[in-house]
Every structure is written in C-alpha cells, then in structure tokens.
Amino acid sequence: MNVPTSRKSLRDLGEFGLIDRLVRSGCGDGEGVVLGVGDDCAVIDDGAEQRLLLTTDLMAEGVHFLSSADPVKLGDKLLAVNLSDVAAMGGEPRHAVVALAVPEALDVSFLDGVYRGLRRRAARHGVTIVGGDTTASRSGLVMSITLTGRVEPDRVMRRDGACAGDHILISGAIGDSAAGLSLRTSVLGKTRDAGLEQADVDYLLARHDTPEPRVYLGRALAVDGEVSAAIDLSDGLASDLRHICQRSGTGAVVHVDRLPLSSPLRRCAASIAADARVFATCGGEDYELCITAAPGAVARLKRRAEQVGMDLTDVGEIVDGSELRWQDHDGERFEPSGGWDHFSSSDSV
Amino acid sequence: MNVPTSRKSLRDLGEFGLIDRLVRSGCGDGEGVVLGVGDDCAVIDDGAEQRLLLTTDLMAEGVHFLSSADPVKLGDKLLAVNLSDVAAMGGEPRHAVVALAVPEALDVSFLDGVYRGLRRRAARHGVTIVGGDTTASRSGLVMSITLTGRVEPDRVMRRDGACAGDHILISGAIGDSAAGLSLRTSVLGKTRDAGLEQADVDYLLARHDTPEPRVYLGRALAVDGEVSAAIDLSDGLASDLRHICQRSGTGAVVHVDRLPLSSPLRRCAASIAADARVFATCGGEDYELCITAAPGAVARLKRRAEQVGMDLTDVGEIVDGSELRWQDHDGERFEPSGGWDHFSSSDSV
C-alpha cells in the first residue's frame, strides 16, 4: 500500500483544490446520478416525475460565526445558504436534516434560538425539518444541514452550459455582505466614526447576517429552460463565475462599472476611500444568483425576474477561451484579488 | 420576546433530552412527511413509487475518534453508521453527501484515506457519493454524512409498532464494540497482559472500528411486513430498546442470559472478572438490528435472516406497561447502567 501522499495541508490546497481532488478520485458516478460533485446541488433521477436535488452546507464556530452571534440569525442563515444552492438549480426546496456537534457546556437556550431561526426560515419556504443528529463537540459548535429539493427534469439549471456570446446576469446587488462582515470586524470598524449613517450600517449587517436566498427567482428563471448556466454567489463573483467558465469551457468579460452596487455599499466604500467594486467581485456570501443566457432571452428573463420583485443586471459576456477579463468603461483592466475561500481567508467570521 | 430559557447545558439534558426538546418544538410535521424526527430515518412520500429515507450522522474528533485513528477505517465507519440507520428502516441505501470541517494544517493524505474508506464502503452497498461541503475548522476534524435510501411503502420498519406479546430479536452478537473500545482505552488496557489471545483482541477492535451495517438483513426482514418494530443498536440495547418501548407505548422483559455474546467477548470479560452482559446491554456501536415481531412470525424471520447469513436471537418479550425489566435465568433482576450517550459518556472515543 505505497500510496503516494502529498504532504500538503488544506491551507496549501484550499477548499476548491480539495474538492477537485475528491472529484478526481471518482466520487459522483453511479446509478441515477444526473449530476454529482461540482455543482450547487447533486441531481438524482430516482424514478419520480421530478429530479431529486441534494445539497449540504456546514458552518463552524470561529470560521463562519463567533460564539457571540445571534443564534436566531445563525439558524436562519444556515438554512438560507442551503436554500440558495437549491435556488441556483431552479429547484423547490423540500426537506432538511440537521447535524450538530455541540460543546457540552453550551447553554441550550442558544440552540433553542438556532432552531427558532431554522424553523422561521423553513416555514417561509415550505421546508420541513425531518430529523438530525446531535452529538458532543470537544471544541466549538459545528452545524451542518442537508436539504432536498425537487425540480422538473427540463428545468434543471447547472453550471456547465454557458456558451460564447451568452450574457452574464446578476440578481439584486453584490458586495453588501462583505461590507457587512467588514463592519463587524476590523477593516471598516472605523467607518462609524467616519460618518456612515446607522441605516447604512444596519442594511449592510443584515445583508451579511440574514441573506435572502433567491428561491422564487430561481424557480421563475428556470421556467422556460432559457438559462444556459447558473450559480449562487456564495464565494464571490470572481470565484463563482470562474466555476461557470471552468465547467463550461469558456472565458468571460465582465464590465465592472456595470456591477449592481447598493447605495449603502457605495457610501460605505466612499467613507473609507475604498473601491466598492472590490467588495462586489471578491466578497462572498451575497447569495444572489449569477446566470448566463443567449442575448435573445435576456429581456424575457428580466421580465420574469421583475414578476418576483427582482432586478437582473447585465454585467458582461461569455467568450471563447478560458480567460476571465475584468474591465472598466475605459477598457482598463481591473484585477479582483481572488474571491472567498474558507481555507485561504484569514478573517472569515 | 420573553421566552423562558432553561439555563441548562447539554451536559444536563443529554443527547436524548435535547432531541426530545427539538421534537416538542415542532419539527417534523409537513407535506409529504410520513415519519419525521425520532426514528432511525425520516420517511418521505415524494410521489415516487418508493418512500424516500433520509438520515444524517456526525463524527467529531475527540468525541468519536482520535487524530491517531486510521483514516480509512474512519471513513468506512462514518458511512456504516448511516447505512445502519437505513438498514433499520428496511431500506436500500442510495446516495450520500459529505460535509467536512477540516483543521487547516491537517495533512490532506488523511482525508484521502477517509475518502478511500468512504468509497470502499459505498461501493459495497451500491451507494454513490454525490457531493458535499468542505470548510475550515478552527479546532478538530468534524465529518457529517447524509444518506438517502428507498423503501417500499408497505415495508417500512419503524420504532413505534411493538405490541405486548411480541418477541424481541437481536441480530449477530452484541457488546463486542464496547469491549473493543475499552481495549483501546483504559478499562481493559491490562487484559493484553492478562492473557487475552491476540485473535480475540483483533476481533473486538475490528467490531468497534469497522462495524458491519445489517443492510441485507434489514431488507430481508422487511419483505413480509411482519416486523412490528425495529431499531439499530447504536447506543446500546438498554437505551435503544427503551426507544422502541417509549414510542410503542409498551414495556419489555429481557432475559439477559439469552443475550447473544461472542466467545471473544466472553473471554475478554472473564480475563478481567467483568460481566459480559454489561457490555452487551450498555455498550454502544454494535450496529446490530433489534426487532420485535408476533410469536407466530419468529421462525419465518429467523429463516429469512439465515438466508443472508445472519442469526437472530430471541431475547425477550414486549409487555404492557412502561417498565423495561432485565432478568437472569433465576428471575433475578439485572440493572444495566444506562446505555450510550455522547453527552454523558466521559470516555467515548
């Protein structure tokens, strides 16, 4: 058994490096598997009329949240990030199981709060929590949710269908969550003194703490099968768009001056003389949808989005090749610094 | 929002106390939910011919395993404990997702080993690993698997159908895993010096490290719908049989001298002048099945078990009331000390 080993840690490989490694190692092929490792959800043909979607997300104390976090918001967000994965596939969420590793001395009222948040979020989307596992943790609290969903076979949105010429569309506004996170940590701590309105602070914090998964939007966009590729923006546009391009075998051009930025984000960036586009391209956890579609379908998709109260912004094009090119209105190149990765991020709570 | 809080920790409540609390709080009811929180798997009617089973289990470093553990065996066991839940419902396992919280400095070859174990076990049962989530951990390694399964609507085995007069049957032998665990930790560390054969040590360690989930047995027993209740022995007979009784509204009498004990367990207990029945009643992680059935069905069920190479041992009867009575062949009472609970167990790796 002389298996060559890497002597590499996850800090070296990063989250995506590890996932690549696991995909290469042969997970994902099997009976009924339409789509395995590497998209927002696995897609399974289990003989039912609709496809079964499966997704799992894990949040760890000290990495995704601090022990001082509001437990209700934490529960809400834990389910929201899973809902966002189902939304990105065009699916309708159904049932969830919850696995918890709990420090033995934790006051159980904290978990009551987490469950209050979970149930509140579940009720809004018709999701039922059907079971789980609870065990002790020798260190921090770790929470994992697995969510199922259903989607019609011809409505599945996936990452790998983008074609040269397709437009790139983004829902809502991006960068808010990263700004909210920074407000909570060191980078922008001083902006409160720098004159940022409390309403802006509250908005940006809420966008980080209780992101709204775009479930209804995902369903609406999937209706006509006109979305060529889709992903939810959990890791940041620079990172997530790269996933679409890598899996589709394409490149992309993004016009950074067209990125949808909220007024609070603009004011927040201005107050510290920062570039809001950095938050929008590199900041994670917005949980907006990024889709691609042929030019002729863009107007129809925008109307569908409006019907569920959402805007889609056209930010660029899919191109041949493999390069992701970011440019401003003068054609000058803009370099995002990489996107979100829980292994390489040093300040990620 | 003056919600009364408990000021209790999980150490006070225990794992089952917490699960009770979550069940009471209203999880589990919803569209398509045949069976929610409180059985080995959730059972969902999603319109397909067969019911969907969902189960999740989590293993945390320092609680369920040590960093010195063999990663291949760890991966094998992580999936096995989920398979055991599907087996207890009479189901056929299908697809799994894996969530990992990984210490940043961990050598990735350890995870390669975990995945080797996972894939080996998955291949043996026709299970496909279809996705997952990987993130950093600020402390130990935490691994969670969610497994789906399928079962015909009229073959679902559940915990709540036991009736007074039913016999209690156990597959294989029990207590081995707890003895194996003890060999690894302090209690029986001295037995190697006390003359226990290496073959016995190896057998008991293997029973703890790589338990065999009774998937084929579960399918075979479910065929005729004659099993009135079933559970897998993950927490120990004393604890798991209590689950059947509580959910069925019954009591039970167990004849402790009939408990199926392996020869290595008997020799191991004898070598330290301990009572093997304590391992068999209080020790967890055997992952054998415990079922109940009407007296007239027992012979048929034993034959079905034989067809898949397993023995079933008749250890007692379901009775009216709520008491679990443990007695030896003289009718003397025997008191198991409680069963396995990862919150109350002080030495559980």
Q: Indicate if ipTM > 0.90.
A: no
* Mean pLDDT in residue range A141-152: 95
Chain B residues whose beta carbon lies within 8 Å of the beta carbon of residue A100: 58
Are B128 and A46 an interchain contact pair (Cβ–Cβ within 8 Å)? Answer: no
Chain A residues whose beta carbon lies within 8 Å of the beta carbon of residue B30: 95, 126-128, 130
Q: Report pLDDT for A119.
A: 92
Are B33 and A95 an interchain contact pair (Cβ–Cβ within 8 Å)? Answer: yes
Are A138 and B136 an interchain contact pair (Cβ–Cβ within 8 Å)? Answer: no
Q: Report in angstroms the alpha-carbon separations of B255 from A305, B177, B315, B326.
A: 66, 21, 6, 6
Select the residue from A19, A109, A120, A133 to test the B interface by mutation, using most B Cβ atoms within 10 A.
A133
* Mean pLDDT in residue range A94-108: 91
Select the residue from B10, B89, B106 to test the A interface by mutation, using most A Cβ atoms within 10 A.
B10
CB-based contacts of B309: which residues, under 8 Å, 6+ apart? Answer: none
Show contacts of B300-305: CB within 8 Å, 24+ apart.
Answer: B300/B224, B300/B226, B301/B169, B301/B221, B301/B226, B301/B227, B302/B169, B304/B220, B304/B221, B304/B223, B304/B224, B305/B171, B305/B217, B305/B220, B305/B221
Q: Cα B13–B19–B23 angle (5° rounding)?
A: 130
Å between A37 CA and nearest CA of chain B? 4
Q: Report pLDDT for B47.
A: 84
* Mean pLDDT in residue range A122-129: 94
CA distance B242 to B248: 10
Å between A334 CA and nearest CA of chain B? 29
Å between A35 CA and nearest CA of chain B? 8
Select the residue from A98, A130, A159 to test the B interface by mutation, using most B Cβ atoms within 10 A.
A130
Q: Report pLDDT for A28.
A: 62
Give SS3 for B298.
Answer: helix
Specify burial of residue A99 (Cβ count, 10 A radius: 0-12, 13-18, 19+). Answer: buried
Query: Which among B28, B99, B104 has CB closest to A9?
Result: B104
Kindly report, residue by residue over B300-322, the tens digit of the pLDDT: 999 999 999 999 999 999 999 99
> Does pLDDT of A15 surpass 80?
no
Report whether B91 contacts B58 (CB < 8 A): no
Report whether A251 contacts A140 (CB < 8 A): no
Å between B77 CA and nearest CA of chain A? 16
* Helix-strand-coil split of chain A, %, nearest 5: 35, 25, 40
Are A140 and B139 an interchain contact pair (Cβ–Cβ within 8 Å)? Answer: yes
Chain B residues whose beta carbon lies within 8 Å of the beta carbon of residue A130: 27-28, 30, 33, 36-37, 42, 44, 54
Q: Which of A125-139, A163-177, A220-234 has the lowest mean pLDDT?
A: A125-139
> Does pLDDT of A118 surpass 70?
yes
> Does pLDDT of A106 surpass 70?
yes
Å between A172 CA and nearest CA of chain B? 25
Task: For residue B20, give both structure tokens.
Answer: 């009770």
**For residue B8, which of B18, B22, B19 has the smallest C-alpha distance?**
B18
| Nearest-Cα residue of chain B relative to residue A36 | B130
> Does pLDDT of A343 surpass 50?
no
Q: Report pLDDT for B162.
A: 97
Kindly report, residue by residue over B105-128, the tens digit of the pLDDT: 888 899 999 999 999 999 999 999
Kindly report, residue by residue over A307-329, the tens digit of the pLDDT: 999 999 999 999 999 999 999 98
Q: Report in angstroms the alpha-carbon separations of A298 from A302, A317, B38.
A: 6, 12, 48
> Does pLDDT of A128 surpass 70?
yes
Å between A81 CA and nearest CA of chain B? 12
- Extract the residue ranges of chain B whose pLDDT is less than 50: 1-6, 193, 338-349
Q: Report pLDDT for A47.
A: 84
Beta strands in A199-295 (DSSP E): 227-232, 251-255, 289-293
| Nearest-Cα residue of chain A relative to residue B48 | A48
In the block, which residue shows the tokens 């987490």? A114
Are B142 and A137 an interchain contact pair (Cβ–Cβ within 8 Å)? Answer: yes
In the block, which residue shows the tokens 């803009």? A334
Report whether B91 contacts B217 (CB < 8 A): no
Are B9 and A108 an interchain contact pair (Cβ–Cβ within 8 Å)? Answer: yes
Q: What percent of chain A is modeled with pLDDT above 90?
A: 68
Task: For residue B280, give both structure tokens.
Answer: 């068999």
Chain A residues whose beta carbon lies within 8 Å of the beta carbon of residue B108: 6, 8-10, 12-13, 18, 21
Are A30 and B105 an interchain contact pair (Cβ–Cβ within 8 Å)? Answer: no
The pLDDT confidence band at residue A67, using thresholds 50, 70 and 90, is confident
Query: Which among B28, B129, B144 has CB closest to A130?
Result: B28
CA distance B305 to A237: 55
Q: End-to-end CA distance of chain A, in Å? A: 40
Are B130 and A101 an interchain contact pair (Cβ–Cβ within 8 Å)? Answer: no
Say which residue, B195 or A348, is predicted with more confidence. B195
Chain A residues whose beta carbon lies within 8 Å of the beta carbon of residue B28: 128-131
Task: Report pTM.
Answer: 0.89
> Does pLDDT of A32 surpass 70?
yes
Are B5 and A100 an interchain contact pair (Cβ–Cβ within 8 Å)? Answer: no
Task: For residue B335, give both structure tokens.
Answer: 């008191």
Q: Report pLDDT for A25.
A: 66
> Does pLDDT of A39 surpass 80?
yes
Are B115 and A62 an interchain contact pair (Cβ–Cβ within 8 Å)? Answer: no
Report whether A104 contacts A110 (CB < 8 A): no
Å between B30 CA and nearest CA of chain A? 6
Chain A residues whose beta carbon lies within 8 Å of the beta carbon of residue B125: none
What's the mean pLDDT when you consider all of chain B? Answer: 88
Q: Report pLDDT for A254.
A: 97
Report whether B283 contacts B174 (CB < 8 A): yes
Chain A residues whose beta carbon lies within 8 Å of the beta carbon of residue B41: 131
The residues with which B318 forms a beta bridge, in sequence order, are: B252
CA distance A91 to B119: 28
CA distance A58 to A48: 28
What's the mean pLDDT when you consider all of chain A? Answer: 88
